[in-house]
Amino acid sequence: MHLRTVLCTASALAFVAAAANAQTTITIATVNNGDMIRMQGLTDDFTSKHPDIAVEWVTLEENVLRQRVTQDIATGGGQFDVMTIGMYETPIWAKNGWLVPLDDLGEDYDAEDILPAMRAGLSHDGTLYAAPFYGESSMVMYRTDLMEAAGLEMPEAPTWEFIGEAARAMTDKDNEIYGICLRGKAGWGENMAFITTVANSFGARWFDEDWKPQLDTPAWKEAVTFYNDLLADAGPPGASTNGFNENLALFQQGKCGMWIDATVAASFVTNPNDSTVADKVGFALAPDTGKGKRANWLWAWALAVPAGSDATDEAKAFIEWATSKDYLALVAENEGWANVPPGSRTSLYENPEYQKVPFAAMTLQSINAADPSNPTVDPVPYVGIQYVAIPEWAGIGTSAGQEFSAMVAGQQSVDEALEKAQSLVAEEMEAAGY
Amino acid sequence: MARAVTQKRKMINTALAWTIGLLIFFPILWTILTSFKTEATAIADPPVFLFFDWTLENYSVVQERSNYMQFLWNSIIIAGGSTILGVIIAVPAAWSMAFVPSRRTKDILLWMLSTKMLPAVGVLYPIYLLFIELGLLDTRVGLTVVLMLINLPIIVWMLYTYFREIPGEILEAARMDGAGLREEILYVLTPMAVPGIASTLLLNFILAWNEAFWTLNLTAAKAAPLTAFIASYSSPEGLFYAKLSAASTMAIAPILILGWFSQKQLVRGLTFGAVK
């Protein structure tokens, strides 16, 4: 009798152990942004729906993540099953055969519901390779009280001329109020993202149709001069080292009249827990010069499966969950509509509850106004608005960014910065065989 | 008179030492202070020093979101393992170089040190590929071996300097008394070099604890130590400075406490020879 009990227990334990072994573990690499933190917090919802899948998170600093993930894919290390990547990498990596196509997600997934601009930016040859977790464009965020005090009224679609005038009128340096806060920190995803959108709206482009760099054209000079003068007249001190987070801090402290940056910032600056100006923020479309292109970018933080993963099906199941309509509803239920990851699905913007969120309409308009395959006034051979979707861009964008950052710091003139940027881009492109 | 001058000089020196010490410690102090602020206070301008509403919220958030103990345990195993393994290999190596030098000993020592001059990223890909081949990616064993190899030149150099100060006659006497090589190293040399070995252990433990390049590049979810834990709190889009500071404080606290308690040992080992 005793022996039988022992045997029964042993076989039951063996069964449990076998069942536990049948569980597949997926490793997800991500960054420490608010929406990703919320996703991690809601993982239980996924694992309760998929008890056979266990989830491990690896959170990394953005640049480290990019380098780690590239290194792992290129060498076939197979450390990650789901990775958070951007719109810049997706088409390049898909072309290299590094990503698993996501054209076979479940029937309920409704891929058609993904915003068209996002779908286009995350596809290669018409096939989706990364699913948008959240998307963003850029827009003007401004202080309604300071605008009123300056006796001006922000139009829904301002011109750069108006922005320049308003920024100078709002500036009160003695009281540490600066009319405009803009990115100045060097980096292809930092100052160059912003400067490239300004250039687009002034009719400039990175390359002509023969891949010849165009930084020596009058349009570039006009755009960069405008940016440099604006920061000198109405920007905060030390603007050459300000990136997204630095400007966010300044705006939340009430030191910026306007801030042109990612639409995702809207939920931060209107959050009364962190922002001292939460109830005094208005939104407008990114400015233009009447040439037909606005200075707004398009970006997505997307989830993709690397080709080396040995748990492709499980990874896809996770992506399906994290980028589904149900996930948006789940976040709304737990954290409120303002905290739902924005910019990925059309249905979200049709939801009457979400339409009540103050920045929802402007975010959608900004995203819809962005066209990555047709980013400039004159035709270009590349895709991408605030970047050029070629592997060389990260290098040339960052080197050029250092020149423009030095210019904002007052170490060189606009002409010098443009000249240096032109020659280094030309050199790099020639070496790359363009 | 001479005494008064010495006294005055002593005071100046003390004041200077404290100033420099505080300057060096200030960033750590600021990190610790920031970890007790709210995110809004953390970015306040002008910055607040001591008079703010102290909160433990960041610590509770970090505790809730990350498995701190797993990172801590990995750090202890990797840093401890690599240091001990390094010393086990370095003691015989340093012994042979200190007591039975050959014509090439100096060259070997310099060559070992020269490996430290190569930027680590230069060998990242070969090591990464090797790790894939050997199945060592994201394992504590792999990281222990890599960190041991990285710190080995320093360990050998430090031990070599300590051993050199031990008079060869003492070892000769041991040999006369019939000690073999093993006994000579274990019972004569090692006990005499204990302060040196202790400071070598401590210094290399600290170096391995703080190593961030290899630990970030060769780990993912399983073997990631506290360096990866800190990195996971840096954000491209969002102000989480207070939480980042809390994570940093939690990561440096163990090594800070260890350093504090062993500072006498550390300073003695670094500034004095083995038998002085």
Tens-digit pLDDT profile for residues A104-149:
988 889 999 999 999 989 999 999 999 999 999 999 999 999 999 9
Calculate how close chain A gets to B197, using CA atoms only, in Å.
Answer: 36
What pLDDT score was predicted for residue B274?
46
Residues B221, A58: C-beta atoms closer than 8 Å: yes
What pLDDT score was predicted for residue B239?
85
What pLDDT score was predicted for residue A406?
97
Residues B132, A77: C-beta atoms closer than 8 Å: yes
Name the pLDDT band for B276 (thresholds 50, 70, 90). Answer: very low
More confident residue, A194 or B113: A194
Give contacts of B43 with chain A, Cβ < 8 Å: 249, 252-253
Asked if residue B13 belongs to a domain, the reply is no
Query: What average pLDDT score do residues A323-336 get?
Result: 94
What pLDDT score was predicted for residue A21?
54
Enumerate the domain spans of chain A.
Answer: 2-129+299-355, 136-297+374-431
Query: What's the total number of domains in chain B?
Result: 1
Calculate how close chain A gets to B132, using CA atoms only, in Å.
Answer: 6
Q: Which range is most confident: A71-85, A169-183, B35-49?
A: A169-183
If interface means Cβ-Cβ distance under 8 Å, which residues of chain A face chain B? 27, 29, 31-34, 37, 40-41, 56-62, 64, 68, 71, 75-80, 244-245, 248-249, 252-253, 255, 262, 264-265, 268, 273-274, 276
Just give the CATH number of A2-129+299-355.
3.40.190.10
- Asked which of A418-432, B76-90, B254-268 is least confident by mean pLDDT, the reply is B254-268
- Asked which of A19-28, B45-54, B87-96, B107-116 is least confident by mean pLDDT, the reply is A19-28
Nearest by CB to A262, from B124, B235, B237: name it: B237
* A278-287 residue pLDDT tens: 999 999 999 9
What pLDDT score was predicted for residue A288?
95
Query: What average pLDDT score do residues B84-101 get?
Result: 91
* B248-267 residue pLDDT tens: 999 999 999 988 888 887 77
Domain extent, residue B154, equals: 66-271
Query: What average pLDDT score do residues B213-238 get?
Result: 90
What pLDDT score was predicted for residue B191?
85
What pLDDT score was predicted for residue A4?
61
Name the pLDDT band for A1 (thresholds 50, 70, 90). Answer: very low
Asked if residue B19 belongs to a domain, the reply is no
What pLDDT score was predicted for residue A11?
55
* B176-198 residue pLDDT tens: 888 888 888 888 888 888 888 88
- Tell me the CA distances in angstroms from A1 to A8, A12, A286, A307, one per residue in order: 11, 16, 80, 54
Q: Would residue A153 be called left, alpha or beta, if left means φ above 0 and alpha means ψ between -120 and 50 degrees?
A: beta
What pLDDT score was predicted for residue A50?
95
Give contacts of A80 with chain B, Cβ < 8 Å: 220
Name the pLDDT band for A67 (thresholds 50, 70, 90). Answer: confident
What pLDDT score was predicted for residue B45?
79
pTM of the predicted model as reported, rounded to 2 decimal places: 0.86
Query: What average pLDDT score do residues A282-305 get?
Result: 95
Residues A252, B239: C-beta atoms closer than 8 Å: yes
What pLDDT score was predicted for residue A197?
97
pLDDT surpasses 90 at A347: yes
Asked if residue B57 belongs to a domain, the reply is no
For all residues of chain A together, what is the average pLDDT? 92
* B105-156 residue pLDDT tens: 999 999 998 988 889 889 999 999 999 999 999 999 999 999 999 999 999 9
Nearest by CB to B220, from A27, A75, A248: name it: A27
Do A136-297+374-431 and A2-129+299-355 fall under one CATH topology? yes
Query: What average pLDDT score do residues A198-216 get?
Result: 96
What pLDDT score was predicted for residue A243?
93
Interatomic CA distance for residues B138 and B130, integer angstroms: 13
pLDDT surpasses 50 at A374: yes
pLDDT surpasses 90 at B4: no
Query: What average pLDDT score do residues B2-10 get?
Result: 76
What pLDDT score was predicted for residue B90?
94
Nearest by CB to A244, from B124, B222, B237: name it: B237
Q: Using N-to-C axis directions, what is the helix angle for B57-65 and A34-41, rounded to 10°?
A: 60
Nearest by CB to A80, from B125, B220, B235: name it: B220
Interatomic CA distance for residues A319 and A254, integer angstroms: 38
Nearest to A295 by CA among A406, A410, A160, A147: A160
> Euclidean distance between the first and final Cα of chain A, in Å?
82
Question: Which residue in chain A has the smallest CA separation from B225?
Answer: A58
> Could you tell me whether strands A256-262 and A178-181 are parallel, antiparallel, or unpaired per DSSP bridges?
parallel
What pLDDT score was predicted for residue A259?
97
Query: What average pLDDT score do residues A235-264 get?
Result: 94
Asked if residue B239 belongs to a domain, the reply is yes
For all residues of chain B together, what is the average pLDDT? 89
Longest dimension (CA), chain B: 73
If interface means Cβ-Cβ distance under 8 Å, which residues of chain B face chain A? 39-40, 43-45, 65, 124-125, 128-129, 132, 137-138, 216-217, 220-222, 224, 228, 231-240
Residue A117 amino acid letter? A
What CATH number has the domain bearing residue B121?
1.10.3720.10
Asked if residue B110 belongs to a domain, the reply is yes
Name the pLDDT band for A228 (thresholds 50, 70, 90). Answer: very high
Domain A136-297+374-431 has CATH 3.40.190.10: yes
Residues B220, A79: C-beta atoms closer than 8 Å: yes
